Every structure is written in C-alpha cells, then in structure tokens.
Chain A
Amino acid sequence: MIRPDAELLLDISDLHASVEDQPILKGVNLQVRAGEIHAVMGRNGSGKSTLSKVLAGHPAYRVTGGSVRYRGDDLLTLEPEQRARLGVFLGFQYPVEIPGVSNLEFLRVSTNARRETQGQEELDTFDFEDHVRERLKVVQMDPAFLDRSVNQGFSGGEKKRNEILQMALLEPVVSILDETDSGLDIDALRIVASGVNQLSSPETASILITHYQRLLDEITPDYVHVMAAGRILRTGGRELALELEQIGYDWVDEQLAAEGVV
C-alpha cells in the first residue's frame, strides 16, 4: 500500500559495506514507508543478502559509508539486539541450529525483550504458552516444535515457519525476509506467504529478498528493486518482477557495462 504521507520507516542512503575488506555494497539507496512491501531481486552475489545482514547488524559486515535511519534515528550505531527490540526483524535464509536452547524459552526471552522496549508487561511461562499457541496458527505449526532445541533437526520448511513464528511474536515494524522462499515446496511457500500477509499492516513494512517471481505471486509487492554489483540498478512496480521472469537478468550486464561498472 503506497501512501506518500506515510511514516518514513527506513531511509537507506548511499550505503557502502564490506566483508573481510571486500566491498559488497556500493551505494544502496532505498526508502521504505509504512504500509509498503518491497521486493529486492537480483542474481547471486548482487549484494541482496549483505544488505539484509548489514541492516540487522551482523558483526562480520563493516559499514564503510552512507547512512541508515530507522524512524529518523541512526540505525547503524545500534547493537543487533537493540535493533531487534526496536522492531527491525531479519528472517534468515539459513536459520542456525542452537543445540540445548529450548525453542520455547528462546521465543519467550526474545518476545519479552521486544515487549519490554514497547512498554508492555513481561509474559511469564504460562501466559507465554497461551500467547505462542495463538501465534502458531499463523504458520500452522505443530506445538511439538516448541519443545525442541532452536531449529535443531527442523526441516528447511520448518525452519522457515519458525522464522515467521518469531516475526509473529516480535511484531516488528520493518521485516526483512532474506530468501524466505528458498528451498520451500509450494505448500510450505503458501503457508509462509500467508503468514507474512496476515502480519502485514498499514503501520509496518516488509522487504522481501528473493530470486524468484513465485513468492511475489503470493505476496504482492508495491515496489520491485533489482540489485546488481552492490546497488539498486532499477526500481519499478510489481510488473517489473513479471518482466524479469520473462527477460531474465542478462540486460543487467549490458547496463553495468554501459555504465563502465564491469
């Protein structure tokens, strides 16, 4: 939903970032307002995942230039946990397994950290169980997953559902979903997409990072961006995604060559 007067939630300006001294992001500009759904597409190595990691504050990525403002404040000086508590959520492409840490306890601690920042009261074990069972419905997840260790022994689809469950619990303002569709069969994809749709609201925004059109069949984006060589090369509406499905990304090389980038 595009409303030019909606709150500017995320303002990324000329963002540069490196990993192990290798520049990956080379001037990303992106503005995300409340109510909007953005799709960021592009080939492997274009910098899509790096953008998501930088926004969440992964310590391996170093910001070398530019700025990111979240609801008007500098996002880049905050620790990852502070960003999360303030409502920035990253859905991981490959959620890690954490043996020994109970999923339920993990979800409770993180939910309470977010609630505390929002001035809501802490949920004790019993209240939280009720709360989480309600949210499980969003992703049609079996409560048995709550008793396991975080992501341990989960299938690819179960891990992704666990990500969306976390999104449902944390009620983020800006959600960045990094290739949430990868490795999912069509049924799992629909469940995940329906979860994201249920959680969308005029007050929040999402950035979907994806290779493929098929996620965008389920979640309709307001904007589609094509990333290449560490920046956004082209921006359009949802029709751009359909066009990419037709023509692929070969034009990207031509355009980069024309600009003298490659």
Chain B
Amino acid sequence: MTSTSTRDLVSQPYKYGFVTEIETDKIAKGLSEDVVRLISEKKAEPDFLLQFRLKAFRHWLTLEEPDWAALGYPPIDYQDIVYYAAPKQQEKKASLDEVDPKLLETFDKLGIPLSEQKRLSNVAVDAVFDSVSIATTYKEKLAEHGVVFCSFSEAVKEHPDLIERYLGTVVASNDNYFAALNSAVFSDGSFVFIPKGVECPMELSTYFRINSGDTGQFERTLIVAEEGASVSYLEGCTAPMFDTNQLHAAVVELVALDDASIKYSTVQNWYAGDENGVGGIYNFVTKRGQCRGARSRISWTQVETGSAITWKYPSCVLQGADSVGEFYSVALTNNRQQADTGTKMVHVGPRTRSTIVSKGISAGHSSNSYRGLVQIGPGASGARNYSQCDSMLIGDQAGANTYPYIRSQQPDSAVEHEASTCRISEDQLFYLQSRGIGFEEAVSMMVSGFCRDVFNQLPMEFAAEADKLLALKLEGSVG
C-alpha cells in the first residue's frame, strides 16, 4: 500500500504489563513426584486428590509433547518452571478487609475492583493471583440461592464430595499431555455448583492474573449445573510483560445435567510478547463440556487476543438426547503471535445439535489456524451441525488456515461447513475514510463488524469491552 496507509507494525503498549511487588511463597523450580506431593501437602488435600495428582503425573511421564498443531516454538524445559507460587498471606481471608491491599490494588488496576464499594454490581468475581485465589465476591448472596462459587481449594475443603464426584470426569487426568500436567500440579481455580432448578442470579466471573516471571499457571475450573439449572460464567486473563515465556496450562470441565444450561465466555488477553515475538504466554488449555443430560446446553464463547501461543479447543460432548453445543470464537493474532484454536463437537446422543462460528483475524506476521472436529457417533441419529469459519487477513504478511475434520458414523445426520477468507481492502478503507472516519477507526469498524456474530454472544457487560480490546490490539497494524 502507499505512504498514507503504511504504518509500522507496532502494537498498542500492553497496559496490563506491570508486576506487583509482593512477597511470595514459591517452591523451587522443577517437577518431580515430590513436587506433586508438596503441592498437595501445602494445600492440605484429602487423599483422593493426592492419588488423582500422582496418577496423572505418572501418566504424564509416559507422554510426549504433542507436535501436530500448526505452531512453532522452542522446546519447553519443564524443569525450569516453578509449579507453585502464592502471595504470602495467611489462609484465605473471611473478609476482603484482611486481604493484602497490594493485591486489591492490583485487581483495581486491572479494572476488576473487588472491594465492597467499587465492585461490579451484578457480577460475582473470583480473583486468582498466580497459583491461588485471593478473594471471591458475593459469596453469601449466591449461597442464599444454593449456588456455590468459590476457589477450587476452598471447594476441596468444603465440598470434597462434589469434587470427588465430578473432577476428571470430563477431562480425564490422562486425556492429553497438558491436561495430565495440569492434573498433577494444578494449584487453584474456580468451582461453581448450581443446584437443581436454580437459575444463577448473577454473572459469575474468574479473573486470572499471572504475576511471577518464572511461574507456570495451572488452574482448574469445574462447573456443574444440575437438572434444570443455568449459569453464565466469564473468565478474564492478563499477565505482566516479561521477555521470557510463561506456561499456562489450564483445564476446564463443565457438566450439564438434564435441561441444564452453561454459558462459558472467555476474554483472553495474556501478554502476547513484543513485536519481535520475544516473551509472552504459552497458552495450552484443555476445555471441555459434557452435556450429560437430555436437552442440556453448553455454549462456549471466546475472544482470544493475547498469548504468544494459543493452543485450545473448547469442546462439547453431546451425550444427552437433544442436547446442544455451541462454540463462538474470535481469535486475533498480531505481530508474531501464533494461534491454533477451534473446537470439537462430539455427537453421541440422538438429535443432538451443534453450532460453530469461528472468526480468525490475522495481522502483522502472525499465524492463525482454526482446527475443529465434528464427530457424529453411531447413536446420534438426527444429529445436526452447522460450522462457519471465517478468516480476515490484515496486511500481506499474516497467515490463516482452516483445518476442519468431519467424521460421521450416522447416515441420518447433517453436517454443514462454510468457510471464507477476506482481506480488508484499500478501497473499503478509503470509502470509510472519505466519509470522515479515521483510518484506525475504519479498520476497527470493519473488524468488529466481522466479529459481530460472536460478540453478540458475550454477556452485555463484556461485549463493548471486547470490541475495544480488539481495536486496541490492532492499532497500527494495518499498512
């Protein structure tokens, strides 16, 4: 393009890149059975959980790191990572007044005020800092409805029966390399339980913050919606800027019983590395939901804008008859970011339905792949899937790929797949500019138009934010 539209490939400075100076309780680097036992011991866990971890760890030792994704990165040294880091404070506080003010301040700066006066009025937040949850808001109010929303560690202490019943039932500890690693060393995360017939009265949200430079974050989220229950849950993620890479390997399990509905939204904005690809989070995440009951529904919405590398495929196992799985995704990569993301829709029960809408935006020198599996099992008569995968290229150095896998063992089923690729054209930009709309705004209007189908799925409070986030990430990337 010509001089007026040529901009340097620089990203907007990452505004969450600060480090909080706080004393942490960190264990030594490295991974061994002793480390697994130490983590379990630090958390005073019941024996079943230690056994779960050990089984996972022993299995992990037998696995090879997967290399099938369209990603390139130097080998990860798993012995050079700290597997447990927690801000030094006593047991989790009963009241927010006792939480270290530095931590509250950190979340304030991230736009997630936790204190009574400032917190969001209709969203309950669980704030996770490095390996531990530091506070959960609105717990009492939720408890009145029978809803359990707390950190995973707390759930292990207070609801061990629920944890034992559901943990690892959707993503087994030996599911894959990163899930096995997580199962062995996970430190904290969120637990949500919505009892039979209850519609959760507010949005639930977990905010994950990586603070230490050499610590991996391995959180575990488990959401159970009993018969007829429904919940909408959102997670957000940020990390400081370091010139090293941090590993984030989370596992999320969702269980929906008969007529239950779970809506899980993610706005992922981990540090993505600089414009030359130095630093940034390696985001290797296993997310899966099981529509266990008839007519249950699980919906994943993700806005992936951060991380140096994203490897995640939020999936639905549609077991119950007439159950519904949905996946709405916007993945934006800029500079040297790489993303290989998509979903798996596994149709087991009869008349199960799934919808996939994926929007990939690649700018700079980045690479962005959609990888998705639609599997229709022999019992899934009358199953239907609709997939739509659209890619938008910005500039001429970025790449986009689509890898759809479709396997059907059931003749009485229908699978539709549509894909498109477009480029923001100079003429479209000029048209908007010639109507008084600035260059950057023109780009962001087109990008948010491209993503509208997905943003419409986000909870109201976050849709506008996602729009702004994308505009910010793309600033200066078109030329």
The interface of chain A, by Cβ under 8 A from chain B, is: 56-60, 62, 79-81, 83-85, 89-90, 92, 95-96, 98-102, 105-106, 109-110, 113-114, 117, 149-150, 166, 170
**Closest residue of B by beta carbon distance from A94:** B427
Q: Which residues of B contact A166 (CB under 8 A)?
A: 435
B109 CB–A CB distance under 8 Å: no
Contact of A101 among B1, B2, B438, B446 (CB under 8 A): B446
Contact of B437 among A57, A83, A96, A113 (CB under 8 A): A113
Q: Which residues of B contact A114 (CB under 8 A)?
A: 436
**Closest residue of B by beta carbon distance from A100:** B449
Q: Which residues of A contact B450 (CB under 8 A)?
A: 99-100
B33 CB–A CB distance under 8 Å: no
- Contact between B430 and A58, CB atoms less than 8 A apart: yes
- Contact between B2 and A84, CB atoms less than 8 A apart: no
Contact of B445 among A80, A101, A117 (CB under 8 A): A101
Q: Which residues of A contact B422 (CB under 8 A)?
A: 99
- Contact between A98 and B426, CB atoms less than 8 A apart: no
B95 CB–A CB distance under 8 Å: no
Contact of A79 among B4, B445, B449 (CB under 8 A): B4
Contact of B446 among A60, A81, A89, A100 (CB under 8 A): A100
Contact of B449 among A58, A80, A98 (CB under 8 A): A98
**Closest residue of A by beta carbon distance from B441:** A109
Q: How far is the CB of B237 from chain A (nearest CB, A)?
A: 27
What are 30 contact pairs spanning A and B, CB under 8 A? A59-B3, A59-B5, A60-B2, A62-B2, A80-B434, A81-B433, A81-B436, A81-B437, A83-B434, A84-B436, A89-B434, A90-B434, A92-B431, A95-B431, A96-B428, A98-B431, A98-B432, A99-B450, A100-B448, A100-B451, A101-B445, A106-B437, A110-B436, A110-B437, A113-B435, A113-B436, A113-B438, A117-B436, A149-B449, A170-B435
- Contact between A79 and B439, CB atoms less than 8 A apart: yes
**Closest residue of B by beta carbon distance from A101:** B449
Contact of B434 among A60, A84, A99, A100 (CB under 8 A): A84
Query: Complex formed: what's the CA distance from A100 to B5 in Å?
Result: 22
B7 CB–A CB distance under 8 Å: no
Q: Which residues of A contact B449 (CB under 8 A)?
A: 98-102, 149
3 tightest Cβ-Cβ pairs between the two chains A and B: A100-B449, A113-B436, A110-B435
**Closest residue of A by beta carbon distance from B420:** A99
Q: Which residues of A contact B428 (CB under 8 A)?
A: 96, 98
B169 CB–A CB distance under 8 Å: no
Q: How far is the CB of B446 from chain A (nearest CB, A)?
A: 6
- Contact between A59 and B2, CB atoms less than 8 A apart: yes
Q: How far is the CB of A61 from chain B (nearest CB, A)?
A: 9
Query: Complex formed: what's the CA distance from A99 to B423 in Å?
Result: 12
Q: How far is the CB of A108 from chain B (nearest CB, A)?
A: 11
Q: How far is the CB of B68 from chain A (nearest CB, A)?
A: 32
Q: Which residues of B contact A57 (CB under 8 A)?
A: 4, 433-434
- Contact between A106 and B435, CB atoms less than 8 A apart: yes
Query: Complex formed: what's the CA distance from A150 to B3 in Å?
Result: 27
Q: Which residues of B contact A80 (CB under 8 A)?
A: 4, 430, 433-434
Query: Complex formed: what's the CA distance from A57 to B4 in Å?
Result: 9
The secondary-structure label for the interface of chain A is: mixed
B24 CB–A CB distance under 8 Å: no
**Closest residue of A by beta carbon distance from B448:** A100
B425 CB–A CB distance under 8 Å: yes
- Contact between A96 and B446, CB atoms less than 8 A apart: no
- Contact between A84 and B431, CB atoms less than 8 A apart: no
B452 CB–A CB distance under 8 Å: yes
Q: Which residues of B contact A98 (CB under 8 A)?
A: 428, 431-432, 446, 449
**Closest residue of B by beta carbon distance from A87:** B436
- Taking CB atoms and an 8 Å cut-off, the chain B residues in 406-448 that contact chain A are 422, 425-428, 430-439, 441, 445-446, 448
Query: Complex formed: what's the CA distance from A242 to B393 in Å?
Result: 49
Query: Complex formed: what's the CA distance from A83 to B437 in Å?
Result: 11
Contact of B427 among A96, A102, A113 (CB under 8 A): A96
- Contact between B430 and A59, CB atoms less than 8 A apart: yes
Best-surrounded residue of B436, B448, B451 (most CB of chain A within 10 A): B436
Q: How far is the CB of B15 from chain A (nearest CB, A)?
A: 25
Query: Complex formed: what's the CA distance from A92 to B451 in Å?
Result: 27
Q: Which residues of A contact B438 (CB under 8 A)?
A: 79, 81, 113
Best-surrounded residue of B422, B434, B446 (most CB of chain A within 10 A): B434
- Contact between A84 and B452, CB atoms less than 8 A apart: no
**Closest residue of A by beta carbon distance from B451:** A100
Q: Which residues of A contact B425 (CB under 8 A)?
A: 96
Query: Complex formed: what's the CA distance from A166 to B435 in Å?
Result: 8
Query: Complex formed: what's the CA distance from A92 to B2 in Å?
Result: 21
- Contact between A81 and B439, CB atoms less than 8 A apart: yes
Query: Complex formed: what's the CA distance from A60 to B2 in Å?
Result: 6
Query: Complex formed: what's the CA distance from A50 to B195 in Å?
Result: 68
- Contact between B426 and A60, CB atoms less than 8 A apart: yes
- Contact between B436 and A59, CB atoms less than 8 A apart: no
Q: Which residues of B contact A89 (CB under 8 A)?
A: 434
Query: Complex formed: what's the CA distance from A109 to B445 in Å?
Result: 10
Q: Which residues of B contact A81 (CB under 8 A)?
A: 433-439
Q: How far is the CB of A160 from chain B (nearest CB, A)?
A: 14
Q: Which residues of B contact A106 (CB under 8 A)?
A: 432, 435, 437, 445
Query: Complex formed: what's the CA distance from A113 to B3 in Å?
Result: 23
Query: With A100-B446, A102-B449 in contact, do A170 and B431 touch (Cβ < 8 Å)?
Result: no
- Contact between A56 and B427, CB atoms less than 8 A apart: no
Q: How far is the CB of B88 from chain A (nearest CB, A)?
A: 49
Query: Complex formed: what's the CA distance from A79 to B437 in Å?
Result: 10
**Closest residue of B by beta carbon distance from A113:** B436
Query: Complex formed: what's the CA distance from A80 to B426 in Å?
Result: 12
Query: Complex formed: what's the CA distance from A170 to B426 in Å?
Result: 22
Report B352-366 CB contacts with A as 1/0, cut-off 8 Å: 000000000000000
Q: How far is the CB of B438 from chain A (nearest CB, A)?
A: 5
**What would 15 more interface pairs be, CB under 8 Å, given A57-B433, A96-B431?**
A56-B430, A59-B1, A59-B3, A60-B426, A79-B4, A80-B4, A81-B434, A84-B434, A90-B434, A96-B425, A98-B431, A98-B432, A100-B448, A105-B445, A109-B437
